Chain A
């Protein structure tokens, strides 16, 4: 079974631009979560999508947005890029679950975004 894939793997943008990152979850997984990873702040939760709806949201400004398509693929968009947005953006997908027990998240390799 193919793992979580993210495209592109590397991206260089300049301040003020906008960027769209893509994530394809493992087949059959309907939940997709996005994280920002930086050396200073570590891994921080951005948002989670399930069945095309945002189910959870972290504490990031409105410049960060996302969406999920009917095939569970997800995109995240960052508008008006700032230098501090330079980071590794990780996507994780989870299989269908029942109850409230933890549902393992499988991470993709990430997209490394550099803002100049």
Chain B
């Protein structure tokens, strides 16, 4: 089963609002990743984090690798309708050994 606790499970927000979601674990991970999955497609990598404390941005997305290496968060600023989808966190320990969170389903109302 999953070893990552991702919250919230779902979010309904108004266009233009900021969004925050996070992932926690009882285990330490070497890398934290955030993916977005659209209906009928596979997950697409948004941001990869490699070091504890690292803060990385990709356009309106910002993610941080927690100091303890057991958590990470993703922020989306000024949401737009195309941000709709399911966002997954993933932690990697060994080579290509990844664990995923259950996902956060984001709905953006225009």
Contacts and interface: CB of A to CB of B under 8 A. Distances in A.
A is bound by B? yes
Interface residues of A, number: 26
A56 B96 contact: yes
Interface in B20-48: 30-31, 33, 40-45, 48
A43 interface: yes
Nearest to A102: B31
Interface stretch (A62-70, A73-81, A107-115): A107-115
Given A43-B43, A107-B41, A107-B44, 16 more contacts: A41-B1, A42-B100, A42-B101, A42-B103, A45-B97, A48-B96, A56-B97, A90-B42, A100-B95, A101-B50, A102-B33, A102-B48, A104-B48, A105-B98, A107-B43, A109-B42
Q: Across chains A and B, which 6 residue pairs bring their CB atoms closest together, nearest first? A: A107-B42, A43-B100, A102-B31, A42-B102, A48-B96, A107-B43
